[in-house]
Structure 1
Amino acid sequence: MVKKIQKAGSAAQSSAAGFNSPLSGAIKDSAQQIWLAGLGAFSKAQEEGGKAFESLVKEGMSIQRKTQAVAEERISEATNRVSSMATDISSKAQGQWDKLENIFEERVAKALNKLGVPSARDVEALIERIDALNAQVQRLGGKAPAKAAARKASTPKKVAPAKKAAARKTTRRTKAA
């Protein structure tokens, strides 16, 4: 292209008129070539632009996956830390609650003791003592104390299921009549 212009330039110098037709043709040819080069560059940029866009999309997806994996890992670590802290706090709270419960039970027991109310241990010891005395009385040949006999007499005896069913039938018949 440069050679054509130089040839055209030398032809222009030889001509005294200034603009002659070979020079203007060379300029037109040069302008045409510049225009076509621009179109070619534009076309190539469009083709490669699509490829570049696709590669950028792929790279973006890769970065997004990596970022999500890191974020999920961090969330998992934070969740584990929070759950371990919650477990620690819960166990400490339970320990404090147990201490408070024991203190409350001790104070209630002291207050009841001051009022003369026997504790559950005292009642249990008395029951064991009564049972031991009853056993001694029975071994000596005596009858059971009146209260124990009365207690045994007042407890209802179990009725066999067949007798219960018969009793129900008779009560139904009497109600129907």
Structure 2
Amino acid sequence: MSTNDTSVEKKKNDLSNLPTELTERGREIWLAGLGALSRVEEEGDKVFKSLVERGRDYEGKRRKQLDDAAHSLKERQDALTSDVSKRIDDATKTVEDVVNRTVNSTLGRIGVPTRHEVKGLSDKVGDLSRKLDALGSMLATQVQDAEGEVVYHVSPHEEGWAVIREGAERATKLFGTKKEAVSAGRDIAKRHIPSQLVVHKQDRSVQESFSYAEEDDE
């Protein structure tokens, strides 16, 4: 066999093995690609988790910084508000004091009583009025005692009907109905003869009266 024939035969053999080699080479490339993809997925998952952790740390640090800044700002705002409010209150009180002193001084110069003087006078008048009322009640009682006759009244009351002795500040007794009050009033008047029982209507006008003396049988 000549050299040319040998060379041709070798080329034929190489060509016949080429599909197998290409197939194996392609499979290796395919497997290498799968391996690279798997590596990327593994590394990518690790990188993703690492980024998440770093993000959490960063968020926590930034949140604390923001919270601290907000707290500090609120404290400064509260302090400023308190200081301004105190200054306004002090200024208002000072102005009120100046105005009151000026008004009182002016009123004093022209002979007009001040608010405190008017209040004091009003209290004295009220006290005097109460004393006069008490004196009037006492005198009325003394007059009745001198005359020897006690007068009782059956009058409407906020809690029903009352039997009250004339000149007294408080009711002798309270009742739910007018009928009960009249009956009790007559019994009380009979126990204090000579006496009189005056029965009033709902509008406090006189409806009727009863007089009791020692010679009465009722």
* TM-score of the superposed pair, with normalisation by structure 1: 0.60
Q: 2: CA distance between counterparts of 1:81 and 1:153? A: 63
The residue correspondences of 1:18-167 to structure 2 (distance < 5 A) are 20-119=15-114, 152-155=131-134, 164=170, 166-167=172-173
Q: Unpaired segments of 5 or more residues in structure 2?
A: 1-6, 122-126, 138-168, 183-199, 202-207, 209-218
Pairwise CA RMSD? 4.0
Q: Unpaired segments of 5 or more residues in structure 1?
A: 1-11, 127-147, 158-162
Q: 2: CA distance between counterparts of 1:169 and 1:98? A: 55
Q: 1:123 to 1:30 in 2, by over 3 A?
A: closer
Identity among equivalent positions (%) equals 26
Q: 2: CA distance between counterparts of 1:114 and 1:33? A: 119
Q: 2: CA distance between counterparts of 1:22 and 1:121? A: 127
More strand by share: 2
Q: Which stretch shows the higher mean deviation, 47-56 or 57-66?
A: 47-56
Q: 2: CA distance between counterparts of 1:55 and 1:87? A: 48
Q: 1: CA distance between counterparts of 2:39 and 2:59? A: 30
* TM-score of the superposed pair, with normalisation by structure 2: 0.50
2:174 is matched by which residue type in structure 1? R
**Post-superposition CA distance 1:152-171 (Å, at most 9, x none):** 333478xxxxx835243499
Q: Which structure carries more relative contact order (alpha carbon 8 Å, separation 6+)?
A: 2
CA drift of 1:98 comes to: 1.0
